Amino acid sequence: MSREEIYERLNEVFRDVFGEDDITVNDETTAADIDGWDSLRHISLLAAVEDEFDIEFSMGQTVKMKNVGEMVDYIEEEAE
């Protein structure tokens, strides 16, 4: 899976979770950039991403992840 493919699917997940149709994320996107991405939604988001790519984020990744780029790195690594 290429990074572009991941992003395409990821954008869908974000749009679904945050209920806005015009969200587009990139490597530098952080929680501060998206309305409603607070600690409550963070877990829902990760769960949705986990479902979408059939992977699992560890607790370490859950709390450490600083931006979407890091998330994609991990997805790339796990979902061959």
Partner 1 sequence: MRITSLAFLGFVLITLIVYKAVPAKKQWWVLLAASVVFYLSFSIGDIFVMIGTALLVYFAALGVQKQKDAYAIWLKENKATADKATKKETKSLFQKKQKLIVAGTSAVTIGILFLCKYYGPLASGVNGLFNTKLWTAENLLLPLGISYYSFQLLGYLVDVHRDIAAAEKNPLKVLLFGGFFLSIMQGPFNRWNDLAPQLCAEERKRLTFQDNRSAVLRIVGGYVKKLCIADQFAIISNEVFTNYTKYKGIGVALGIVCFAVQLYADFSGYMDIIVGIGQLFGIKMPENFRQPFFSRNMSEFWQRWHITLGLWLKDYVFYPILKSNLFKNLGKAIAGKFGKEASRRIPTYLGMLILWTTIGLWHGAGMHYVFGVGILQFLYIFLGEIFEPLFVRIKKLLRINDNKLYWHIFQSLRCTALMMFAWVFFNASSIRVALQILKNLLRRPLLRHLLAVFSDQTVDGPVRTLIYFALCIALLIAVDLLHEKGFSVREYICKKPYPVRLAFYLLLAFALVIFGAYGRQFILKDFIYMDF
CB nearer to partner 1: pick between 5 and 47 = 47
CB-count exposure of residue 52 (10 Å: 0-12, 13-18, 19+)? middle
Nearer to partner 1, 26 or 55 (CB): 55
- Evaluated on CA atoms 3, 5, 9, 15, the torsion sign reads positive
Which residues lie below 8 Å from residue 17, measured CB to CB, with a gap of 6+?
41, 44, 45, 48
Least CB distance to partner 1 at residue 80 (A): 9
Q: Cα(first)–Cα(last) distance of the chain, in Å?
A: 7
- Closest to partner 1 by CB, 2 or 32: 32
Query: What is the smallest separation between the CB atom of 54 and partner 1, expressed in angstroms?
Result: 13
Q: Which residues contact partner 1 (rule: CB under 8 A)? A: 17, 38-40, 42-44, 46-48, 58-60, 62-64
Least distance in angstroms from the C-beta of 9 to partner 1: 17
